[in-house]
Amino acid sequence: MNPRSLRNLRVFSALAAWCLLTIAVSAKDVVYEVEVRADAKIPMSDGANLAAHIFLPKAEGQFPTVLVRTPYGKGGTQGGAGHSYASRGYVYISQDCRGKGASEGEWIPFVNEIRDGRDTHRWILDQPWSNGAIGTAGGSYVGYTQWTAAPGAGEHLKAMFPVVPLIEPYRDVAYVGGAFQLSLMMGWGAGVSGRSEVRTWDQDAWLKAFRTLPLSTWDTCVGGEIQYLRDWVAHPHFDDYWKQGGLQGREEDITTPIYVTGGWYDIFAGSVFRHMNDVRKRTKSDDVKKHLHILMGPWTHGISKNGKVGSMDFGKEAVVDVSAIQAKWLDHWLKGRETDVDQWPPFRIFVMGRNQWRDEQEWPLARTQYRPYYFHSGGSANTLAGDGKLDAAKPGQEPADRYVYDPNEPVPTLGGCNLGRCPTGPHDQTAAEQRKDVLVFTGEELTNELEVTGPVKVVLYAASSATDTDWTAKLVDVHPDGRAINLCDGIVRARYRESADAPALIEPGKVYRYEIDLWVTSNAFLPGHRIRVEISSSNFPRFDRNPNTGHTFGADAEVQAATQTVHHESEYASHILLPIIP
């Protein structure tokens, strides 16, 4: 098996390994011998049996339970988190999701986790070894299995500890700004399907596969029909297909303390803030509002073990012992152990550039000053060698910038909030900035530090020769040595400029206002650095290529080029809105 392919296929399962962390035994713990019940069958309400390894203390009495529900394999029965937790007086359950591992039923991502999670909770509460307290743990999709079963779970669900979690399938993973997250959905979706073909693919093979059209039959390149891949393409709107497995409208029924670990370069970087804030606003439990926490580091879809992420080294401060935090969190809520959890801040964020942690009480920060930085040029902002400028002065009468977006030659993904099939995290963007279909707007060299922390967006006034197209934006920190390091980026599909469930095509040549959500970041632009914004129409293979036809999504086997016009003048003052922290 190709080593790189094997690594890629296991990216998500590596995150699930956060639930397999070995926990140190403290002097306060009674150390138990451990009993293992391998492949125990847990019945679901529809008659299917889901398999689980159950680790129990060899002792009389009742104990709290730590539950992990995973599609990545429930692991072995020797050592690991199961033995660690059970030896400390927990029952630890690692369960295969429906249709995965030794579990019965059909594996369909996002569809069965609400019911199966609740059924598993009920089964635990009926067991003689259960004391009625359940905690959940795990990363990525294993975070999703926690979140989706949380609304209405009741008092028995005492605590959650999701790491870089998927929470809402439609907006968090499938469609961003209306654009399909191609490399993530098709790469991960094919990988967890069990198809053997993808196990031999190297990076070039994946890149070739991502060019397969039409998207509605993309699964033919991995050996035949995978129905859920087709379903994802067949449902580009936020409709009942996505709502059945989503969190939206159920936040008020979450009454469980939650500690989330995320990363500025994670695929779910923006969503963890949005969902935690939604729970804080809507939960019925005033007590839980005080016990919602986010730890946000300079990481991708996992926690760096040495401070190195992408092409950057954030130093030893970026290395965090998440296992110790998790153990203290679960001990507090499931065992009633006295800890300092009640003093933990709602938000603990890592400020890049300065490379320091800081505690905050709200998000966005109350002291934020939102400041627009406007795009300027003489009509030739194309490439790094162009005349694009960025500053706080509103533009007057300036000529527009133009470029041709050809889906056959898309701008390549060079880092960012990606997973598995293309570069992830911070990387030098200079290669992309050499392209004529990338507009580059750069600010003056900074004489003082400027901190940008919070949600970032671009307001773009633009026209296209097509009836549908994409607009992309990227915030970049230009270092004194010339490296252009990406911080955050975003995309908007023109037909979804106003609504995720009511698309509307555009009129060729007409200027429209677009808001491009660049998600979130925290970065101190140091003296000698420059702020830069890139504007284009593709970011491939992270996102699918808009064929510029306006046809039904996923149906096109052919694509066409579009001429794009970006305006920056008094009437159409395109800009980036930065959250400046004094």
Angle between helices 113-125 and 141-148 (to 10 degrees): 70
Q: 454 by DSSP, 3-state: which? A: strand
Map tokens 């801040």 to a residue. 345
Radius of gyration of the chain measured on its C-alpha atoms: 24
Catalytic residue among 5, 140, 193, 574: 140
Single-letter code of the amino acid located at 540: F
CA-CA-CA-CA torsion sign (483, 310, 381, 458): negative
CB of 57 closer than 8 Å to CB of 63:
yes
Run of H or E residues at 269: helix 269-282
140 in active site: yes
| Cβ atoms 477, 529 nearer than 8 A | yes
* Per annotation, catalytic residue among 121, 291, 301, 575: 301
CA distance 63 to 515: 51
Q: Any catalytic annotation for residue 271?
A: no
- CB burial class (10 A; 0-12, 13-18, 19+) of residue 26? exposed
As a dihedral over the C-alpha atoms of residue 164, residue 169, residue 170, residue 175, rounded to 10 degrees, the angle is 50
Measured between alpha carbons, how far is 577 from 460 in angstroms, rounded to an integer? Answer: 11
Could you tell me which residues come within 8 angstroms of residue 3 by beta carbon, excluding any fewer than 6 positions away?
none
Rounded to the nearest 10 degrees, what angle do helices 203-210 and 182-191 cross at? 120
Query: Cα(576)–Cα(581) distance, rounded to whole angstroms?
Result: 16
Q: According to DSSP H, which parts of 32-127 are helical? A: 80-87, 113-125
163: nearest Cα among 27, 258, 282: 258
Q: Which amino acid is at 122?
A: R
Residues 57 and 86: their CA atoms lie apart, in Å, by 5
Q: Which residues share a beta bridge with 576?
A: 373, 458
Which one of 119, 219, 266, 278 is the catalytic residue?
Answer: 266
Most distant CA pair in the chain, distance: 81
User: Is 293 an annotated catalytic residue?
Assistant: no
Q: Are the CB atoms for 160 and 261 separated by under 8 Å?
A: no
What one-letter code names the amino acid at 44? M
> Cα-Cα-Cα-Cα dihedral of 104, 110, 112, 118, to 10°?
120
Contact (CB, 8 A) for 139 and 165:
yes
Q: Are 28 and 337 in contact (CB under 8 A)?
A: yes
Q: Which residues pair with 50 in a beta bridge?
A: 42
As annotated, the active-site residues are 140, 266, 301
